[in-house]
Amino acid sequence: MLSFNLGPLAIPMDLALLYAAFFTAWLSGWLLGRKRGANPESALFSMLFIGALVGRTAFVIQYFEQYTDTIWQIIDIRDGGFLLVPSLIAAALVGLYKAWRQTSLRAPLATGVCLGVLVWGGSLAVLNALHSSQAIPDISVRDIDGQPISLQDLAGKPLVINLWATWCPPCRREMPVLAAAQEANPDIRFVFINQGEGLQVVEKFLAQQQLSLRNNLLDTGARVGRAVGSLSLPTTLFYSADGLLKNNHLGELSHASLKHALRHISTEHTQTHIEEQP
């Protein structure tokens, strides 16, 4: 499962797990701190906020070249661009500072953080293990000529599958980003699978947007989204050359977040190619 659906709202699973871990940290810290007259809520929110801010700043610095043409996207965190290690270091430093300044916070804050980390780390490890063993769905779709295409036949080189629809604003916004990446990465196969729409709708949209995309496929029954466990659009899946899921992204991709995600499959492909050389 790639997303947690709450009514019409779809939340990426890794983000949902982070919310659950933070709630665990807050609740356990509050229960213990209530007896000591020290509520760690403010410290926990400070750790979360500063950690996210530092993680975003580190991501922007690393991929600043991708933001130069659209500088405003630096503050558009919908692309999911955060670096984990700087975030964790910053959050830990904030927690240590808060505990040093207020001794009564030490026990409830430490207890809450430890339980939150256990919940988050354990559930994330299980989720990653499930995803890493997930293969390309054994589903056939059709190309724009009406010919059936088996998705599993697309393995053999790193693969990016983008699930989209013309009525989806984030899908439309990220299409030029994916089109540019398709041209810049000939060693990676990009596939665009429309969910639930017909050929005429798709062709009209591509013509209006003047998009030149290869590997356009039609999934009129939206079976691929259900098979991978994501009912939200856009969804982008990153598979290794052997057809195993290495990463996924729910929501709009920026040039920076797409480049970051491609490292999961392009680096592996390069290393495999080098090892196969005599």
pLDDT of 14 reads 85
> Is it the case that residue 133 has pLDDT exceeding 90?
no
Contact 12, 127 (CB under 8 A): no
> Is it the case that residue 201 has pLDDT exceeding 60?
yes
> Is it the case that residue 4 has pLDDT exceeding 90?
no
Burial class (CB in 10 A: 0-12, 13-18, 19+), 65: exposed
Q: What percent of the chain has pLDDT over 90?
A: 69
Contact 47, 94 (CB under 8 A): yes
> Is it the case that residue 7 has pLDDT exceeding 80?
no
Alpha helices per DSSP H over 167-254: 169-184, 199-209, 223-228
d(CA 170, CA 23): 29
pLDDT of 264 reads 81
d(CA 158, CA 240): 5
Q: How much is the pTM? A: 0.86
With helix as H, strand as E and coil as C, how does 174-195 read? HHHHHHHHHHHCCCCEEEEEEE
CA 19 to chain CA mean position, Å: 15
Which is higher by pLDDT, 266 or 42?
A: 42
Q: Please state the domain extents for the chain.
A: 3-132, 140-276
Q: What architecture is the 140-276 domain classified under in CATH?
A: 3-Layer(aba) Sandwich (3.40)
d(CA 44, CA 120): 15
What counts of helices (H) and strands (E) characterise the chain? Answer: 8, 9
Average pLDDT over residues 21-25: 96
DSSP state of 230: -
Which range of 42-46, 67-71, 205-209, 264-268 scores highest in mean pLDDT? It is 42-46
- What's the pLDDT tens digit per position in 83-99? 999 999 999 999 999 99
Average pLDDT over residues 90-109: 94
pLDDT interval class at 274 (50, 70, 90) = very low
Peptide bond into 234 cis (omega under 30): yes
- What's the pLDDT tens digit per position in 45-71? 999 999 999 999 999 999 999 998 889
3-6 and 9-12 strand pairing: antiparallel
Contact 161, 141 (CB under 8 A): no
pLDDT interval class at 131 (50, 70, 90) = confident
> Is it the case that residue 269 has pLDDT exceeding 70?
no
Q: What type of residue is 13?
A: M
With helix as H, strand as E and coil as C, how does 87-156 read? HHHHHHHHHHHHHHHCHHHHHHHHHHHHHHHHHHHHHHHHHHHHHHCCECCCCEEEECCCCEEEHHHHCC
User: Euclidean distance between the first and final Cα of the chain, in Å?
Assistant: 40
pLDDT of 187 reads 94
